[in-house]
Amino acid sequence: MSRIETPRPIRGTQDMLGEQAQRFGHVVDTFDRVRRLYGFGRVEVPVIEPTAVFARSLGETTDVVSKEMYSFEDRGGESVTLRPEFTAGISRAFLTEGWQQHAPLKVVTHGPLFRYERPQKGRYRQFHQLDAEVIGAAEPLADIELLCFADQLLRELGIENGVTLTLNTLGDAETREAWRAALIAHFSANRDQLSQESIDRLEKNPLRILDSKDPRDRPIADAAPEIDAFLSADAGRFFEAVTTGLDSAHVRWTRNARLVRGLDYYRHTAFEFVTDRLGAQGTVLGGGRYDGLIEALGGPATPAVGWAAGIERLAMLIDLPEPESITAMIIPMGAAAEPAATDLLARLRRAGVAADMSYKGNMKKRMHKADQSGARFAVIIGDDEIARDEFALKDLANQTQQWVSRARLIEILRG
Ligand code: ATP
Ligand code: MG
């Protein structure tokens, strides 16, 4: 007899059930609650975009574009890419859908993203992010609001302890040019001590050498000139406004003058919330101001700021949420009781009572399932119950049982 082999899942993807799925759901639910407190609306954008959307906005020299994208030709010969991040797609939509009229646009989304990376704990090829953006606001108040939102989200997830907000400025265009030239000079002078990867980056993207994880690069990167010496007066004032705002809102932060974002379009504020509880995958949330991106996509100069957080990484850090449970388990005994059970179950659910039916196996098995479900009550329906037109309501917490009419039953279970 030939056996059919079940296809294996794709490397770096995950299937979730039980605890893992509950953790994931709790992160998303909390995000949805907190974003309402901040007046952020929901947007949905496609999982798939023309490759140019990411190549243009992220820059060809970034790891994401040069090594990690899932790009392929579709059947029409078009180069398409599974989104590796949200910002580029939302910015594309901002332009093509005429969302400019809503500026400043405060929006969130969440969903799957794809990067061809080496899978390990906290790093997957299909992963998920929470994402928040403010598009069309040049004011530091937008940066402050987003940072407060991120901070409150982490608090409400109960993971603020051990997670630190690290903050930097990347300055304005003028600052960045001057700093970039100084970095190229510094790295060129120490070229023979750098890793090959950093040598390759030297001319195109010298900022990236600063956050290199290669131990060969660290001494040179650590000795590199800091941005502060090059900050223009405008850029200095902007950073000052952001940090003062965070202090006013009681959001704790620390300066990390080495923090740069991997993507080319960042200006001014750059930040990461980091933890040492996830090994090498220590960044749970990162973002910053990306004033240059929308222009890179062919739109008008549009200031914007945003952040993204890895749902899987947050889910690993939170305490296990309260297990989900139902209020009542309906137990029909015998085929004759099933229509009555189906009728009652429909009435309960329509009345807003979480309920389920245990219909497999003998009575003992059915009661066991009721106990396992975490239900507070079991409702037993057999010949007696049908004859009396009443239900046996069993309180599973204290093992008491009473006869009740249907109206009374629904009243009790609605609580
Ligand atoms: P890292 O340095 O960990 O590769 P990154 O700089 O590539 O992160 P961003 O592009 O800023 O990350 O994405 C924001 C967040 O998304 C990260 O802080 C992280 O929580 C999450 N993230 C990024 N890549 C992955 C991945 N492959 N698997 C799981 N989560 C990820
Ligand atoms: Mg990465």
pTM: 0.93
DSSP string, 199-223: HHHTTT-THHHHT---TTTHHHHHT
Q: Which residue's CA is the nearest one to ligand 1's atom 26?
A: 123
Kind plus residue range of the DSSP H or E element containing 105: strand 105-114
Ligand 1 neighbourhood includes 117 CB (under 6 angstroms): yes
Residue 336 has pLDDT above 90, yes or no: no
Predicted local confidence at residue 1, as pLDDT = 59
Predicted local confidence at residue 210, as pLDDT = 87
| Other C-beta atoms lying within 10 Å of the C-beta of residue 216 | 14
The pLDDT-based confidence of 263 (bands split at 50, 70, 90) is: low
Residue 21 has pLDDT above 70, yes or no: yes
Cβ atoms of 110 and 129 within 8 Å: the answer is yes
Amino acid at 296: A
**Interval between CA 70 and ligand 1 midpoint (Å):** 16
More confident: 317 or 63: 317
Residue among 63, 281, 285 whose CB has most ligand 1 atoms within 8 A, to mutate:
281
Of 19-28, 97-106, 272-281, 348-357, least confident by mean pLDDT is 272-281
Mean pLDDT on 344-369: 95
Instruction: Give the residue ranges of DSSP H helices in 163-321.
Output: 173-189, 196-201, 207-210, 218-222, 233-248, 293-296, 311-317
Which ligand 1 atom is nearest residue 313's CA? 20
Residue 41 has pLDDT above 80, yes or no: yes
Token pair of 355, please? Answer: 């309920």
Predicted local confidence at residue 389, as pLDDT = 84
Closest by Cα among 400, 125, 402, 176 to 288: 176
Mean pLDDT on 270-277: 93
Residue 266 has pLDDT above 90, yes or no: no
Q: What kind of architecture, by CATH, is found in domain 328-413?
A: 3-Layer(aba) Sandwich (3.40)
Predicted local confidence at residue 6, as pLDDT = 94
Q: Residues spanned by CATH 3.40.50.800 within the chain?
A: 328-413
Mean pLDDT on 325-336: 93
The pLDDT-based confidence of 406 (bands split at 50, 70, 90) is: very high
Mean pLDDT of the chain: 93
Closest by Cα among 143, 111, 103 to 127: 111
Mean pLDDT on 34-58: 95
Ligand 1 neighbourhood includes 172 CB (under 6 angstroms): no
Predicted local confidence at residue 183, as pLDDT = 92
The pLDDT-based confidence of 262 (bands split at 50, 70, 90) is: low
Predicted local confidence at residue 278, as pLDDT = 82
Which ligand 1 atom is nearest residue 122's CA? 29
Q: Residues spanned by CATH 3.30.930.10 within the chain?
A: 19-172+232-317
* Count of residues in the chain: 415
**Interval between CA 63 and ligand 2 midpoint (Å):** 7
Percentage of the chain modeled with pLDDT above 70: 99
What is 19-172+232-317's CATH topology?
Answer: BirA Bifunctional Protein; domain 2 (3.30.930)
Ligand 1 neighbourhood includes 85 CB (under 6 angstroms): yes
The pLDDT-based confidence of 201 (bands split at 50, 70, 90) is: confident
Residue 44 has pLDDT above 90, yes or no: yes
Mean pLDDT on 230-243: 96
**Cα dihedral value 259, 262, 264, 267, nearest 10:** -30
The pLDDT-based confidence of 160 (bands split at 50, 70, 90) is: confident
Ligand 1 neighbourhood includes 131 CB (under 6 angstroms): no
How far, in Å, CA of 342 to CA of 405, rounded?
16
Predicted local confidence at residue 204, as pLDDT = 81
The pLDDT-based confidence of 415 (bands split at 50, 70, 90) is: confident
Q: Which residue's CA is the nearest one to ligand 1's atom 28?
A: 123
Ligand 1 neighbourhood includes 273 CB (under 6 angstroms): no
Predicted local confidence at residue 50, as pLDDT = 97
229 CB burial (10 A radius; 0-12, 13-18, 19+) = exposed
Mean pLDDT on 323-327: 91
What digits encode the pLDDT tens for the residues 280-306?
778 999 999 999 899 999 999 999 999
Predicted local confidence at residue 59, as pLDDT = 75
Predicted local confidence at residue 264, as pLDDT = 66
